[in-house]
Chain A
């Protein structure tokens, strides 16, 4: 209160300070007395003033102190009335900048003395009201001041004081005391006397009655003063009206109190506080607020018209125990209810004439009273609040305030009554539900008993009473995971705590989970002060929906960033499903609709990783199709989320395709689901599915649909955005692809690389894989180039078989070639026609869309035809019509590159074809000698070289084997090889001697200008003698595997390669090649291996040959497979084998009876067939032999019978035991594999003359001679060697030949 007004300094005409009060000392920063004090100091020392202003200030002070009172002034010369002079000064002791003061100069005269008065007023930093008020008074009317003499009994007041109080300027002590409010009087007078006697400064606040009778709050400050000799001279002081300040403070306190009261009453309305508590609170409030002596609260009792219930405040006691009061004694009973509603006021009972007035005044000393009805239910007599006062003067202001309080109390009471009524009614359940799922509870700490309202029971879904009457009983419905926390928060450890708040989940009987929010307050006054509150009341609110909304908001907020990101929707959807679980669902899945069934994709997250795996499994079966739930998927814009609050078996069956699915669903255990369509821009993109499992008991409800819809909307937009972006990117990529293919054609690459580049250029921007099939017109198509985005797929393609297929087949590439039009396959069902291993592989790998484009057919009829196949595996992509056009354009642009490549391939192909055509397509099958051969081209398309072999059967039964290697590659080498082979055949015809043939070939090749060098090994084999002649022109030595011995190299002869030198000489080496032997002739491809010596190659070939059992039909192929295997040899390879194994002879011995003839014929036919005889020749032989046997049957034996013996053998002509028969000239050129057949039929009987056959017999010999080359009959010797021998011979020509 440093800024309180009343800082006054008294100065004499010498400018010396006579006195100052404490307020002035405070403002000036100096004590009143002492060395540093104000008193006795020249006034100018107190202020820091410039010289000019110091002169002015001193003149003003001196003038005020010395100016004589005007004539006719008041006796005692008390007051000066001239206008004051005001200065702004800075206290010299206070160096704070801006701490300036306003100084108003006035004067005061006391007796002989005249003083200047300086009233100080802080210029800044003070309370606004005080400053404003004091400034006004200080400037325009100097502050009310007083001064007394030494006796301090008579006091002089200035004009301002008289103006304020309306009293005269001079008062004795008693007169002053009478003006003081009686309540304050004694204390003030006593304090004054005490201060004067001790000569200490004083400060007193009291109520001073003004002239108008209104009491004013004043602050009186006094301080003793001394004359300039230092002698005590009396008191000087100021009196300031502080009524406004005091009233303001009171008003503030009242407002706070009122708020607290209203708050308290309001709180009570919530709980089941007894009505008495409300009344008591109201009365307490009234008493405190109105400063009345007594306040009563009356409640009429309907059944007892003369009685009221009474609540009271201090100062008043009802006469009768039990709280009743005779109604007629109450003043307000005379008023109507309407009057009471407005309020009834008795300002002074003494002015009243009624009987009751006397009673009140006499009995209780009340002087005034007022009463107001408490608003309540209509049709019921109202409660009344009555206020009595022991003094008169309750007025309209007090009444208005009482009315306000009555309303507050009324509202609280009404609320209380309503609550009570609700609790009592059956409708409590419904109303509670409508009111927002609320319930109440009451708890008594001492008894631990609790009461749970029906509303709370309803929230929990429990029967009345089922919640019990203890929190402990209630807590069994709380979710176990929430119990501990709920308990901690409901029963705070701090005994001073008066409020509790918690949230927890409860389980309803149907398994549903609900969130409850509990708030509670201690009932005030329910326990002795300093002990924990005893009674607690509170509410319970079902906040499940709010919780869900909060959860959704959190999930949505978390997803917002994601949706705004530029991730691909793969990433987005993956994160979405993870963000949703477990907050909104146990399982969240998003299905995107593909353009084809296989293009459908999904993303899934589940609280249980195992479940997630199971569902993925189900999805992998591609049976599961939740789209069945939305049968009208093609009608966008009509779909709303579907709520499956309780999933039924029917629902499951609708979605499942088979029992396996049903089983999976059952294990998954989803019991509640929401399926929301994903729609954007009028298209259905897929489905969002939220599922709950039965374990929590929670089910989706209508309220959850909104969240699902919102989530679906955002997901759909994200997917749509990602797709739009992808489409834009793909459009750019398409242009890039064309540009890239164009570039390839301008860059100088070799044709193969160029072709590969074309395939690679379109991957992956245009397709996930690109295949190119090529083939000659009218020939077969074969996969020529592959490019894949996924390297693994590339490996799979490389490993897969690549069968060729005819241009006329119905596979798609062939179809596209024939039609010259692109084929777009979007349905996997159509892939069925691509029934090739490769196509199946692609479909298995997830290919779902393919575009097949034939390349333009060149003018050249021999040109290679090409088909490009573009494949898509990414299920989110499909070929559009634009893509078809782009594919056609790509093929058009790539055609030149392919054409160039194809011409190269054509050359390779030609060489290969040429070579294959020049090699014998069939080897001769001589009796007793078998051949096998194998040719393997070198590095595909590169090393078609000049390796070759041939087998030439000669007319004399010998055979010439040749294996050679022509230097060079491709078509020239193949051509040279062809020439050598032709010349060889010619030479062999003239003279098959190997050395001679080589010499002649050397001469021939020397003569050809464009021939290349060649190596050649020749083996002339004579099966009859089982010997061979071997000669070599720089060729690798053949291997021989004898029937009984290790494999060895045959001597090569060591001749120079053909055409190497004109002087080359060749020599024959004679070798023995007996029965069971095997000879292998070969070129270097079979023995050469990178990083190995040739000897190692020989050793390997020898080892392998040794390990082979016998001589399989395809011995050469077997050797190649064992040694080369899957490797593509760097050079081409030729292997030729010969195995010597003459056919066994036929030996038969049968009874000489006619019925044996058929058996003999069958045996002979079989033997001939096995030996390789032609069918027609065999049949003739059988006819002839049958006659010989029949002769023996007819003629050899009598009744006793006997045996007929038959032996047959086939021999090469060289070994024939009979001379060559004459040949037809045309057969002399190059004889096929003729064989000499000899059949001997013998019996041991005696030859008899023809019997009954008569003239018609004898045809047998005619037939034999007609069918065989030679028929010889040896009749035998009668005595020494009985029996007849018939020898039949024939040269068979029908053996297989080249």
Chain B
């Protein structure tokens, strides 16, 4: 029984939007990565991850974001993350200096634009 999480997948003008909720930890990162990866097709211009509703993110979750970033950039697709403004998730993003490695935006529109634009 993995930790409870939510994943809403949607597309916005070719950009796949994955909104995460609940807690993301070691127990559910692999499943989440699989589900998102399955939705990424040839027509996908980019991927935008929405972390604003997420309440917990551990180092494995950080690794998930890094992996996704690597994978999309590897196929020349755009990737961006809408980060939480404060709370535990924001603290983690800040601790591991995630902004140094991927595009972070404050809202999902910005993330979609960044993901689509870069693609």
Contact surface of A with B, Cβ cutoff 8 Å: 1153-1155, 1157-1158, 1161, 1179-1180, 1182-1183, 1186-1187, 1190, 1193-1194, 1253, 1256-1257, 1259-1260, 1262-1263, 1266-1267
Q: Are A1257 and B63 touching (Cβ within 8 A)?
A: yes
**A1259 to chain B: which residues have CB within 8 Å?**
59, 62-63, 96
Distance, CA A1182 to CA B92, complexed state (A): 12
**B23 to chain A: which residues have CB within 8 Å?**
1158
Distance, CA A1148 to CA B2, complexed state (A): 20
Q: Are A1194 and B26 touching (Cβ within 8 A)?
A: yes
Among A1153, A1183, A1253, A1256, the residue within 8 A (CB) of B58 is A1183
Q: Are A1155 and B91 touching (Cβ within 8 A)?
A: no
A1155 and B3 in contact, given A1256-B66, A1262-B96 (Cβ under 8 angstroms) = yes
Among B3, B70, B91, the residue within 8 A (CB) of A1158 is B3
Among A1153, A1182, A1263, the residue within 8 A (CB) of B59 is A1263
Among B1, B58, B62, the residue within 8 A (CB) of A1155 is B1
Q: Are A1190 and B88 touching (Cβ within 8 A)?
A: no
Which residues 66-94 in B have Cβ within 8 Å of A in the complex? Answer: 66-67, 70, 87-88, 91-92
Q: Are B88 and A1155 touching (Cβ within 8 A)?
A: no
Minimum CB distance partner of A1260 in chain B: B59
Q: Is B60 interfacial (CB-CB < 8 Å)?
A: yes
**A1194 to chain B: which residues have CB within 8 Å?**
26
A1154 and B25 in contact, given A1256-B67, A1263-B96, A1267-B95 (Cβ under 8 angstroms) = yes
Closest Cβ of chain A to B97, distance in Å, is 9
**A1262 to chain B: which residues have CB within 8 Å?**
59, 95-96
Minimum CB distance partner of A1264 in chain B: B59
A-B contact pairs, 28 of them (CB 8 A): A1154-B2, A1154-B25, A1154-B27, A1155-B1, A1155-B3, A1157-B26, A1157-B27, A1158-B25, A1158-B27, A1179-B88, A1180-B88, A1180-B91, A1182-B88, A1183-B92, A1186-B25, A1187-B59, A1190-B25, A1190-B60, A1194-B26, A1253-B60, A1253-B63, A1256-B67, A1256-B70, A1257-B59, A1257-B63, A1262-B95, A1262-B96, A1267-B95
A1154 and B96 in contact, given A1183-B88, A1190-B59, A1259-B62 (Cβ under 8 angstroms) = no
With A1154-B2, A1187-B59 given, name 9 new contacts (CB 8 A). A1155-B2, A1158-B27, A1190-B59, A1190-B60, A1259-B59, A1259-B62, A1259-B96, A1262-B95, A1263-B58
Q: Are B26 and A1154 touching (Cβ within 8 A)?
A: yes
Count chain B CB atoms within 10 A of each CB in A1183, A1187, A1190 and give the residue with the most.
Answer: A1183
Closest Cβ of chain A to B93, distance in Å, is 11
Q: Are A1187 and B58 touching (Cβ within 8 A)?
A: yes
Closest Cβ of chain A to B71, distance in Å, is 11
A interface SS class: helix
Among A1157, A1260, A1266, A1267, the residue within 8 A (CB) of B3 is A1157
**B1 to chain A: which residues have CB within 8 Å?**
1155
**A1257 to chain B: which residues have CB within 8 Å?**
59, 63
Q: Are A1193 and B26 touching (Cβ within 8 A)?
A: yes
Among B27, B58, B63, B95, the residue within 8 A (CB) of A1266 is B95
Distance, CA A1157 to CA B26, complexed state (A): 8
Minimum CB distance partner of B67 in chain A: A1256
Q: Are A1263 and B95 touching (Cβ within 8 A)?
A: yes
**B26 to chain A: which residues have CB within 8 Å?**
1154, 1157, 1190, 1193-1194
Per-residue CB contact flags for chain B residues 11-41 toward chain A (1 = under 8 Å, else 0) read 0000000000001011100000000000000
Count chain A CB atoms within 10 A of each CB in B27, B59, B62, B91 and give the residue with the most.
Answer: B59
The number of residues on chain B lying at the interface, defined by a beta carbon within 8 Å of a beta carbon of chain A, is 23
**A1154 to chain B: which residues have CB within 8 Å?**
2, 25-27
**A1180 to chain B: which residues have CB within 8 Å?**
88, 91
Among B58, B70, B92, the residue within 8 A (CB) of A1190 is B58
Distance, CA A1193 to CA B60, complexed state (A): 12
Count chain B CB atoms within 10 A of each CB in A1180, A1263, A1267 and give the residue with the most.
Answer: A1263
**A1190 to chain B: which residues have CB within 8 Å?**
25-26, 58-60
**B96 to chain A: which residues have CB within 8 Å?**
1259, 1262-1263
Distance, CA A1180 to CA B94, complexed state (A): 12
Closest Cβ of chain A to B29, distance in Å, is 9
Which residues 42-66 in B have Cβ within 8 Å of A in the complex? Answer: 56, 58-60, 62-63, 66
Distance, CA A166 to CA B59, complexed state (A): 186
Count chain A CB atoms within 10 A of each CB in B56, B60, B92, B96 and give the residue with the most.
Answer: B60
Distance, CA A1260 to CA B59, complexed state (A): 5
Q: Are B25 and A1263 touching (Cβ within 8 A)?
A: no
Q: Are A1155 and B59 touching (Cβ within 8 A)?
A: no
**A1155 to chain B: which residues have CB within 8 Å?**
1-3, 27
**A1256 to chain B: which residues have CB within 8 Å?**
62-63, 66-67, 70
**A1260 to chain B: which residues have CB within 8 Å?**
58-59
Distance, CA A1157 to CA B58, complexed state (A): 10
Distance, CA A1180 to CA B23, complexed state (A): 15
Closest Cβ of chain B to A252, distance in Å, is 143
The 4 closest A-B pairs by CB, nearest first: A1154-B27, A1259-B59, A1256-B66, A1256-B63
Minimum CB distance partner of B88 in chain A: A1179
Distance, CA A1257 to CA B91, complexed state (A): 18
Minimum CB distance partner of A1257 in chain B: B63
**A1158 to chain B: which residues have CB within 8 Å?**
3-4, 23, 25, 27
Minimum CB distance partner of A1253 in chain B: B63
**A1263 to chain B: which residues have CB within 8 Å?**
58-59, 92, 95-96
Minimum CB distance partner of B94 in chain A: A1266
Per-residue CB contact flags for chain B residues 85-119 toward chain A (1 = under 8 Å, else 0) read 00110011001100000000000000000000000
Closest Cβ of chain A to B84, distance in Å, is 13
Among B25, B88, B95, the residue within 8 A (CB) of A1157 is B25
Closest Cβ of chain A to B46, distance in Å, is 20
**A1267 to chain B: which residues have CB within 8 Å?**
95
**B70 to chain A: which residues have CB within 8 Å?**
1256
Distance, CA A1266 to CA B91, complexed state (A): 10
Distance, CA A1257 to CA B67, complexed state (A): 10
Distance, CA A699 to CA B58, complexed state (A): 101
Distance, CA A1284 to CA B67, complexed state (A): 28
Minimum CB distance partner of A1266 in chain B: B95
**B27 to chain A: which residues have CB within 8 Å?**
1153-1155, 1157-1158
Distance, CA A959 to CA B9, complexed state (A): 56
Distance, CA A131 to CA B27, complexed state (A): 165
Minimum CB distance partner of B58 in chain A: A1186
Minimum CB distance partner of A1190 in chain B: B26
Distance, CA A1183 to CA B96, complexed state (A): 13
Minimum CB distance partner of A1262 in chain B: B96
Distance, CA A1186 to CA B59, complexed state (A): 9
**B66 to chain A: which residues have CB within 8 Å?**
1256
Minimum CB distance partner of B95 in chain A: A1266
Closest Cβ of chain A to B65, distance in Å, is 9
Distance, CA A1266 to CA B96, complexed state (A): 9
**B87 to chain A: which residues have CB within 8 Å?**
1179
Closest Cβ of chain A to B47, distance in Å, is 16
Minimum CB distance partner of A1153 in chain B: B27
Distance, CA A1260 to CA B95, complexed state (A): 10
Closest Cβ of chain B to A285, distance in Å, is 140
Minimum CB distance partner of B27 in chain A: A1154
Distance, CA A1186 to CA B92, complexed state (A): 12
**B59 to chain A: which residues have CB within 8 Å?**
1187, 1190, 1257, 1259-1260, 1262-1263
Distance, CA A249 to CA B23, complexed state (A): 151
Distance, CA A1262 to CA B91, complexed state (A): 13
Closest Cβ of chain A to B9, distance in Å, is 22
Closest Cβ of chain B to A1225, distance in Å, is 25
Distance, CA A970 to CA B88, complexed state (A): 52
Distance, CA A1089 to CA B10, complexed state (A): 79
Closest Cβ of chain A to B100, distance in Å, is 12
Closest Cβ of chain A to B70, distance in Å, is 8
A1183 and B2 in contact, given A1154-B25, A1154-B26, A1190-B26 (Cβ under 8 angstroms) = no
**A1183 to chain B: which residues have CB within 8 Å?**
58, 88, 91-92
